[in-house]
Structure 1
Amino acid sequence: MERPDFDTVVTATVGYSGLLPTVRAIRAGKQIALANKETLVVAGELVTRLLRESPVRVIPVDSEHSAIYQCLVGEDPATVEKLIITASGGPFRSFSKEQIESVTPSQALRHPRWNMGAKITIDSATMLNKAFEIIEARWLFDVTPDRIEAVVHPQSIVHSMVEFIDGAVKAQLGIPDMRLPIRYALGDASRLPSSERPLSLTDYAQLTFEKPDPEKFPCLKLAPYALNRGGNAACIINAANEVAVRAFLDEKISFPEIYGTIMRTLDAIPFIQSPTLDDYVETHRAAITFAEQLTGCKIPLR
């Protein structure tokens, strides 16, 4: 991280493993292209405090946060009314609550729009990824939790929106292809030319939006819980989820038990109101260990 021959670090590892490298990069004065939402989910307060003390900028790579970042360019932050994060709805958007109870790993891995790794695909199916994106947005854009909401947009063309105090809403649109936000971040928020096929709105008869259902997808409720609770709560949620997702993929627990594992781990791990970096590391370790005991599933401790 301290090498002088590069100025930008792309944090693109999975889960908690992104936290410590990102902290090191910030302390080394490197710009961050952040493709690992868990860095801010796990330790948003700590990371943003480090950023305030540093000249380092973070440019988000996740398509939703890149969209918000682009919509905010040239705008006065004081005029922002609301951040609206879009979600595809995952593979079970049209399933009933009863149908969701018996879904299989192979079903959950069939995302309707994006080709992603197994972990984030399952997080999309539970919609915990959307809860994590709400938490990340709170820290990235310094917006209070009550001014961030998720909306289901099955076509995945509108990547996110910003509503302003005058009622105007700005949106960033593009085909569902991660090369666009990656290119924008690596270009240091500049528009680099592309040979990829651009979006043609005439290819889409409809762009639809609907409210997500937290009764079918209870993991959505974890965003307001974690943000209102603060401290190490989101760190516990993330660690428990890492184990629960692996356990579900290994068919050791059912799909609804992913949420159940998270809640039981939250009840078991001591809450810390103002954690240090060492506290986050220990919280992660303790939550992983407890969730492994619950599920009978072991994962590598990162």
Structure 2
Amino acid sequence: MIFKLSTLLTAMLTGTLLLTSCQQQSASVIDDKDSQNSEQLDAEDNKKAVQSDSTKARIEQFQPLYVAEVLSLQRRLQAEYDAFEAADTSVDETSLLNTDIAITDPLATDDQTPTASKNEPVIPLALDSKAGNDPKTIKTDTSANTEINTSTEIGERDLEVLKLISLEPQQPKILTEAQIIKRYQQAMKALYQPVTTELNAQEIDTLINISTLLAQLFEHEEIAQRVNVKSPALARLIVQYQVGKQIEAQQVLDMQQMKVTQQQEFEGLMLKFNETIKGYDEQIAKYEQTLKDFK
């Protein structure tokens, strides 16, 4: 019996050791695979991507279109800025002119302007003879004041947020056609740089301009994939902008369709109205003829 028990314990111990060694070997194999995968990913991230021929053709095709869009945008921004500056200058001149008139106008003096005496006592409105001298007659609409104050506070909070963003026209930075082309080509090349090489501010700015002015360029699968790899945040921004543009375009179509529907409904009502009036005219003509017959 003792021999059997010792044999059983020896078998159990041997099995435990074998199982432990197998687990260690499998864990080491998994670690080796993970390290190899991470090394492969790192090696791929440090490599430049190869630009396909279709992508090169698409980038070359959209280059003159993008240049034309940027030049047109720069002209509009410059015209808006010039108009703003001209309006601001005219307002300043008008204010200066009004200030001069106020200073030299003799009617603006205190001696000839009928005003209340500064020594006269101020009589509260609540102490009027009709209302009596009882202070209890003074009533205030607290609910209206509370509503006004609440809406005012909300408006003030909104204004505080909007103050952080200036909507006034700024002096636009005018780029030449050569500079626009250079930035366009640099941004396209930057998309194919290794993933570890981050986009700089100028490249991001150019890509944002492309997405707002000529988003069709990113409808190419390879270019869209490179944008997503190089800057996922920029890719999400482009998608959100495109979704917004699609919603806006759909709203325009809906408004146009609604106008067409309303016009059709109005024309239908006018047709019914005209038919009704025509029927009344025919009845009146019959009545008139009947009266003539009786006479």
Q: TM-score, normalised by structure 2?
A: 0.20
More helix by share: 2
Q: TM-score, normalised by structure 1?
A: 0.20
More strand by share: 1
Greater relative CO, 1 or 2 (CA 8 Å, sep 6+): 2
